[in-house]
Amino acid sequence: MYTTLITPADLADHIDDATFVIVDCRHDLMNLEAGRDGYAIGHIPNALFASMETALSGAKRGADGVFRGRHPLPERAAFITTLRSWGIHPDTQVVAYDAHGGMYAARLWWMLRWVGHPAVAVLDGGMAAWQSQGLPMSTDVPVHGGGTIADQAPLVSTVSANEVLDRGSRTVIDARAPDRFRGENETIDPVGGHIPGAKNRFFKDNLAADGRFKSAEQLKADFAAVLDEPSKAIMQCGSGVTACHNLLAMEVAGMPGAALYPGSWSEWCADPARPVATGA
């Protein structure tokens, strides 16, 4: 079972394995059709496409009309229905990939763990690593369905905005780029800044120069510099997506237990009553 990362070579060995389901998670926050367009041009053989805006996110406003963030989690039942439509069973090995160092694939990795499915891994290095090894591409769209996966006890935890506000000694880690964390160059959310008291750990710092994840030892040292106890950490970002990259990196490092704040900055800053900090 692969539970964190998988190499292109190992995935290639299982490319026609009926117990594997491969999911293309490419996306672009500024061009919402870019992922699907890229998938149509060419993808890893037998890969399905997952839309960040629909399959991996829910309604931006709850039944009470309150804004939940740019990429709130879908209802668990709806996500299970999606997974079944992809042909995922309780014993299926899922592999997620993208072309962005895992920043979107990690979201699917975390969400499968959210519904209790441990057999999920991110392709280390993504599309670039796959293609650099001369491995095949395809334009065929596989047909799946009939999956039997069921909602199980979560392997991960979440916190609400109120729990972040009243977090006590828990440490908040923000995965956004340092300039956005400081409140500079904000082009996505209406308010610049960060949650007061949060620390910044840019998700791209989890990657080596070749686009693959750093070693477990290096990641452990990196995260130990910003938090003391993983189980008391809360991971967030702009909309709950790239925070999952930090959570994956921590899992690789052998530092499990941190919680995700799914609404993240996009939900937090939508309520003017919540405090905002700027600067380092």
Q: Are residues 128 and 15 in the same domain?
A: yes
The residues annotated as belonging to the active site are 237
Distance CA 145, CA 63 (A): 30
Q: Are residues 10 and 123 in the same domain?
A: yes
**Domain end: 132, 149, 173, which one?**
132
Residue-wise pLDDT for 33-57, tens only, equals 999 999 999 999 999 999 999 999 9
Q: Are residues 98 and 172 in the same domain?
A: no
- 30 within a domain of the structure (yes/no): yes
Q: Are residues 128 and 191 in the same domain?
A: no
- 184 within a domain of the structure (yes/no): yes
**Domain end: 132, 166, 181, which one?**
132
Q: How far is CA 176 from the centre of its chain?
A: 13
Q: Coil, strand or helix: which one is 76? A: helix
- 140 within a domain of the structure (yes/no): no
Percent of the chain's residues with pLDDT above 90 = 96
Q: Coil, strand or helix: which one is 165? A: helix
- 180 within a domain of the structure (yes/no): yes
Q: What DSSP string describes 134-160?
A: T---B----------------SSEE--
Rounded-to-10 torsion of CA 145, 128, 108, 199? 180
- 64 within a domain of the structure (yes/no): yes
Find the domain containing 71 and state its range.
5-132
- 195 within a domain of the structure (yes/no): yes
Query: What confidence category does residue 271 fall into, taking pLDDT thresholds of 50, 70 and 90?
Result: very high
Q: Are residues 10 and 128 in the same domain?
A: yes
Residue-wise pLDDT for 118-155, tens only, equals 999 999 999 999 999 999 999 999 988 899 999 999 99
If you average pLDDT over residues 66-81, what whole number do you get?
Answer: 96
Q: Are residues 176 and 101 in the same domain?
A: no
Query: What per-residue confidence (pLDDT) applies to 145?
Result: 84
213 pLDDT above the threshold of 90: yes
pTM of the model: 0.97
The token duo for 233 is 């950490």
**Domain end: 80, 115, 132, which one?**
132
Q: What is the CATH number of the domain that holds 206?
A: 3.40.250.10
Query: What confidence category does residue 254 fall into, taking pLDDT thresholds of 50, 70 and 90?
Result: very high
Cβ neighbours around 179 below 10 Å, total: 12
Q: Are residues 104 and 183 in the same domain?
A: no
- 117 within a domain of the structure (yes/no): yes
Distance CA 106, CA 88 (A): 18
Distance CA 67, CA 61 (A): 4
pLDDT averaged over the chain? 97
Query: What confidence category does residue 30 fall into, taking pLDDT thresholds of 50, 70 and 90?
Result: confident
Number of domains in the chain: 2
Query: What per-residue confidence (pLDDT) applies to 45?
Result: 98
- 52 within a domain of the structure (yes/no): yes
29 pLDDT above the threshold of 90: no
Residue-wise pLDDT for 167-202, tens only, equals 999 999 999 999 999 999 998 999 999 999 999 999
Distance CA 237, CA 200 (A): 9
249 pLDDT above the threshold of 90: yes
Q: Are residues 104 and 197 in the same domain?
A: no
Q: Are residues 191 and 240 in the same domain?
A: yes
Query: What per-residue confidence (pLDDT) applies to 204?
Result: 98
Distance CA 12, CA 39 (A): 18
Residue-wise pLDDT for 158-174, tens only, equals 999 999 999 999 999 99
Q: How far is CA 50 from the centre of its chain?
A: 12
The token duo for 114 is 């959210």
Sequence-separated (6 or more) residues with CB below 8 Å from residue 134: none
Residue-wise pLDDT for 91-119, tens only, equals 999 999 999 999 999 999 999 999 999 99
